[in-house]
């Protein structure tokens, strides 16, 4: 809050001081134009920061060009015969610092190509001294004066370049740390979790051979356990691969709408009846279809976790109203865990953000007279990969 107030205070000063000075301190118009433009532009950029970050290169080129034009126009009129007049002192003090800001900002915040715009205000600072050098100065004195006044612009750009380099180093360090965390997590999944799941699969396979003779229901139950374990191992292998090489994540096979019948069949058992109403979805792009698939998976997982009394689940998926619409409804009793929403980026809260990134909506809430409903709508206008 203190930083924000200070920023607004500096922005107001940058705008008001040159405007008030132009009204109270008499000076030739040619001496006022460049300093006023540089200071007012500085104030506007600062007041609207960081939204104005993209305009920084343009502002730097505009203020520097204005100063250069004023310098070029004022020189034929003749330099002062003596030292600068007192009324010129205000503008001599205001213009270079404002131009230094625009020599710094592009180097610090803009792309490498746009950062070249910082050269214009730096050059403008160096040449602006020519307006105030008295007549009779030698060419060497004029060159030396410009070189001396070039130093502030170079210093401002150097500070921006140093800070940019430090920021790049910080980002690389964060990326390296995250990579190490991913590799550690992948190693733990591979060495411990995958081993335990493999043991579950092996025990289920052994139980099928030893315990299920003559009992088809028991055989089916152990078959489901075995298949679920194998699917978990396959998913874990893909997760480990993604953790070790995130660049492959976009190419990993993910479920889509075409996989929903198999999902419904796996979820349904003698206790829960799953009804899937799959409309005309042949033209649905891959990304909305993948998000819809994940919403259904998460909704069914929550039913297992929070609604053990559910006996019926209705899944409806179809295209209507210019978008993909899906509903997952059950008749289970409400549980406190259903309404709990965290902000970890997982589960339905994370999927809500994913749906909203496609300009869609996702809602979840109680169903009358009992049960729970998850409803999602994803627009299909535009292109999706």
**Helix 139-188 with 119-128: angle, nearest 10 deg:** 160
pLDDT at 212: 64
What's phi and psi for 374, nearest 5 deg? -115, 125
User: Does residue 266 register a pLDDT over 70?
Assistant: yes
- DSSP string spanning 262-310? HHHHHH--SS-EEEEEE-S-TT--HHHHHHHHHHHHHHHHHHHHH-TT-
Give the rounded distance of the alpha carbon of 190 from its chain centre.
31
Band the pLDDT of 343: cuts 50, 70, 90.
very low
pLDDT mean over 60-81: 79
pLDDT mean over 257-268: 85
For the chain, what is the largest distance between any 2 Cα atoms, rounded to a whole number of angstroms? 115
Band the pLDDT of 334: cuts 50, 70, 90.
low
Report which of 292, 291, 359 is spatially closest to residue 328, judged by C-alpha positions.
292
Among the residue ranges 37-46, 49-58, 330-339, the one predicted with the least confidence is: 330-339
Comparing 352 with 157, which gets the higher pLDDT?
157
pLDDT mean over 97-117: 89
Tokens read off for 147: 């070189």
- Mean pLDDT score across all residues of the chain: 80
Band the pLDDT of 277: cuts 50, 70, 90.
very high
Comparing 170 with 345, which gets the higher pLDDT?
170
How far apart are the C-alpha atoms of 74 and 68, rounded to whole Å?
A: 10
For the beta sheet containing 323-330, the strands, ordered from the edge strand earlier in sequence to the opposite edge, are 273-278, 312-320, 323-330, 372-379, 361-366
Please check whether residue 319 is in contact with residue 279, taking contact to mean a CB–CB distance below 8 angstroms: yes
**Residue burial 82-99, b: 16+ Cβ < 10 Å; e: rest:** eebeeebebbeebbbbbb
Helix (H, G, I), strand (E, B) or coil at 319: strand
pLDDT at 248: 47
User: Does residue 258 register a pLDDT over 60?
Assistant: yes
pTM exceeds 0.75 for this model: no
User: Does residue 269 register a pLDDT over 50?
Assistant: yes
User: Does residue 85 register a pLDDT over 90?
Assistant: no
Strands 273-278 and 312-320: parallel
How far apart are the C-alpha atoms of 235 and 352, rounded to whole Å?
A: 22
**Residue burial 205-240, b: 16+ Cβ < 10 Å; e: rest:** bebbeeebeeeeeebebbeebbeebeebbeebeebb
User: Does residue 345 register a pLDDT over 50?
Assistant: no
pLDDT at 3: 53
pLDDT at 256: 85
What's the residue count for the chain?
A: 385
pLDDT mean over 363-380: 89
User: Does residue 384 register a pLDDT over 50?
Assistant: no
Identify the CATH number of the domain defined by range 257-334+345-379.
Answer: 3.30.565.10
Q: CA of 168: how far to CAs of 163, 201, 342, in Å?
A: 9, 47, 32
User: Does residue 232 register a pLDDT over 60?
Assistant: yes
Which positions ≥6 away from 266 have C-beta within 8 Å? 224, 227, 228
User: Does residue 169 register a pLDDT over 70?
Assistant: yes
Report which of 248, 230, 227 is spatially closest to residue 239, judged by C-alpha positions.
248
Q: What percent of the chain has pLDDT over 70?
A: 84
pLDDT at 313: 92
pLDDT at 202: 79
Bridge partners, residue 374, by sequence: 328, 364
pLDDT mean over 131-152: 83
User: Does residue 60 register a pLDDT over 90?
Assistant: yes
pLDDT mean over 61-87: 74
User: Does residue 290 register a pLDDT over 70?
Assistant: yes
């Amino acid at each position: 809050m203190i930083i924000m107030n200070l920023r607004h205070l500096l922005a107001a000063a940058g705008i008001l001081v040159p405007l008030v000075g132009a009204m109270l301190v008499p000076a030739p118009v040619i001496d006022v134009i460049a300093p006023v433009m540089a200071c007012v532009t500085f104030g506007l950029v600062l007041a609207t920061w960081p939204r104005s970050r993209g305009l920084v290169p343009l502002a730097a080129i505009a203020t520097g060009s204005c100063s250069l034009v004023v310098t070029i126009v004022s020189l034929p009129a003749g330099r002062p015969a003596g030292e600068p007049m007192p009324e010129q002192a205000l503008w001599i003090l205001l213009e270079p610092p404002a131009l230094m800001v625009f020599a710094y900002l592009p180097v610090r915040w803009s792309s490498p190509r746009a950062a070249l715009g910082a050269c214009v205000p730096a050059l403008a600072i160096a040449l602006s001294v020519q307006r105030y050098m008295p007549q009779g100065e030698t060419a060497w004195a004029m060159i030396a004066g410009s070189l001396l006044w070039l130093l502030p612009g170079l210093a401002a750009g150097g500070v921006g370049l140093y800070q940019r380099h430090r920021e790049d180093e910080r980002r690389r360090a964060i990326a390296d740390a995250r990579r190490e965390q991913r590799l550690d997590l992948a190693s733990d999944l591979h060495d411990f979790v995958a081993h335990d799941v493999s043991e579950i699969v092996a025990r289920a396979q052994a139980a099928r051979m030893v315990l299920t003779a003559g009992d088809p229901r028991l055989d089916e139950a152990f078959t489901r356990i075995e298949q679920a374990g194998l699917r978990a191992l396959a998913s874990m292998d893909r997760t480990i691969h993604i953790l070790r090489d995130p660049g492959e994540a976009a190419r990993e096979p993910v479920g889509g709408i075409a996989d929903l019948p198999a999902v419904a069949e796996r979820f349904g058992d003698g206790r829960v009846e799953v009804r899937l109403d799959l409309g005309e979805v042949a033209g649905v792009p891959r990304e909305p279809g993948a998000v819809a698939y994940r919403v259904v998976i998460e909704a069914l997982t929550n039913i297992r976790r929070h609604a053990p009394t559910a006996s019926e689940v209705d899944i409806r998926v179809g295209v209507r109203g210019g978008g993909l619409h899906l509903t997952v409804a059950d008749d289970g009793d409400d549980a406190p865990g259903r309404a709990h929403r965290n902000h970890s980026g997982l589960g339905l809260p994370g999927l809500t953000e994913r749906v909203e990134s496609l300009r869609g909506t996702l809602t979840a809430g109680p169903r009358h007279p009992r049960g729970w409903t998850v409803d999602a709508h994803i627009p299909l206008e535009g292109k999706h990969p």
